[in-house]
Structure 1
Amino acid sequence: MAFNSLWEEYMQIPVITRVYTTASLLTTLAVHLDIVSPSQLHFNPYLIIRHLQIWRILTTFLFFGKLGFQFIFNIIFTYRYCRMLEESSFYGQTADFFFMFVFGGSIMIIIAIFANFPFLGQGFTMMVTYIWSRKNSYYRMNIFGLLHIQAIFLPWILLLFSFLLGNSILVDLMGIGIGHLYYYLEDVFPNQAEGYQILRTPYFICINVTEGLVIL
């Protein structure tokens, strides 16, 4: 009965959030159990092109570091703000939410080619958190029971914590920058006097995501 209850609760998690966080947890567990090593997961354009190790395009977003406080910190915020976005701003718009992932992830991959960022999960978390914070900018929240802030300041608080944990703030700043670009193109520019909708979810994504929901 307990297992059934846990399974039902798990299946109530929105599908994109569920798949992404589960894949991240399984990837980290595989590294912890020495099934794979981080060197087999990081983004490497040479290995992707010359040796067709295509999986690295995805696994660079799935590994947040070995089990420990840093991993827990990242996975909690990834799960929390992915789920909140998918259940609110993107409710009933699963294909659009997935397209946000594709849009942000694609730009990160392009930047990583030139900036030599091996892992992008941390930047991806910052992107999702930033987009949520802008869509809910006046929401009042409590950080670790210590700080009461408006949501719009959340990414910068996380940037500070990330710095204190010894992470590269360049990856975090990249995530914030891409998050702002998405927010501007999706929510700001279309509402201006001469603005229009630049970002449109491609039809093939709408069809494939809809078909995938039947399986997931």
Structure 2
Amino acid sequence: MAAQTFQQEYMQMPPITRAYTTACVLTTIAVQLDIITPFQIYFNPDLIFKKYQIWRLVTNFMYFGPIGFNFLFNMIFAYRYCRMLEEGSFRNKTADFLFMILFGGTLMTILGFFVNIVFLGSAFTIMLVYLWSRRNPYVRMNFFGLMTFHAPYLPWVLLGFSVLLGNSIMVDLMGIAVGHIYYFLEDVFPNQQGGFRILKTPRIFTYLLEGPPEDPNYNPLPEDRPGGFNWGEGQRVGAREEQNQG
């Protein structure tokens, strides 16, 4: 019964959230089972461009370290805020959501050339948290029962918590910076006087993920209705018999 419930919950996850969290879990399991090692998947520009190990551009976003508190903490936040964004402000906008992820991942990769960070998954999670928090400014948050605050403060609370755990502050700052760049370009600048939308989702994304747009001038032919039965019209049970008797 529990397995069936898990399967139902898993299949109800929106597609991109399901794909990303699954990739993270499978990558972590593969490392735990010594199928691969972190040295084969971490971000290394020299190996990417000189040895053509292109997969590192993607795999470095999928590993949060060995299974433990840090892994669970990051996975919970990645799953939660990726799903809330995909089901919230990006609802029915799968192509836009994927474009946002690729835009943020590309910026982080570029910054990774100048900052010594070998795994960018935590920064990616903070980016998701930042964007969600700015689009839900009036939501009240409770952090482990220790403090209550509005959503826009959440990334900074997580940054402070990360410092207490001994993690690098640059990871969180990178995620916040990239999240703010996307938020400004998508939500702030287009709404200013003289502003316009800079980020535009490629049509190929929309076509592949959401299908071709419907033609507003298209009028479908009426369906064949076997036996002349009006499929769109309801009829009370027994009404035909009453009509025949009358």
Query: TM over 0.5: same fold?
Result: yes
User: Which stretch has the larger CA shift, 138-147 or 79-88?
Assistant: 138-147
In structure 1, stretches of 5+ residues that fail to align are 212-216
What is the correspondence of 1:1-216 to structure 2 with a 5 Å cutoff?
1-210=1-210
Bigger Rg over Cα? 2
After TM superposition, give the deviation of residue 208 of structure 1 in Å.
Answer: 3.0
Instruction: State the SS of the aligned residue for 1:11.
Output: helix
RMSD: 1.2
Distance, in Å, in 1 between the alignment partners of 2:187 and 2:76 is 26
Distance, in Å, in 1 between the alignment partners of 2:167 and 2:202 is 35
User: Which stretch has the larger CA shift, 84-93 or 136-145?
Assistant: 136-145
Aligned length: 211
Higher fraction of helix: 1
Instruction: State the SS of the aligned residue for 1:116.
Output: coil
Question: TM-score scaled by structure 2?
Answer: 0.83
Structure 1 residue ranges, 4+ long, deviating more than 6 angstroms after superposition: none
State the structure with bigger RCO (CA 8 A, min sep 6), 1 or 2: 1
Distance, in Å, in 2 between the alignment partners of 1:172 and 1:210 is 33
Q: Which amino acid counterpart does residue 52 of structure 1 have in structure 2?
A: Y
Distance, in Å, in 2 between the alignment partners of 1:206 and 1:178 is 23
In structure 2, stretches of 5+ residues that fail to align are 212-246
Question: TM-score scaled by structure 1?
Answer: 0.94
Deviations along 1:150-206, one digit per CA (max 9) or x if unpaired, are 001000000011111111111110110010010011101111111111111011222
Deviations along 1:20-56, one digit per CA (max 9) or x if unpaired, are 0111111111111111111111011111122221110
Distance, in Å, in 1 between the alignment partners of 2:18 and 2:192 is 35
After TM superposition, give the deviation of residue 146 of structure 1 in Å.
Answer: 2.0
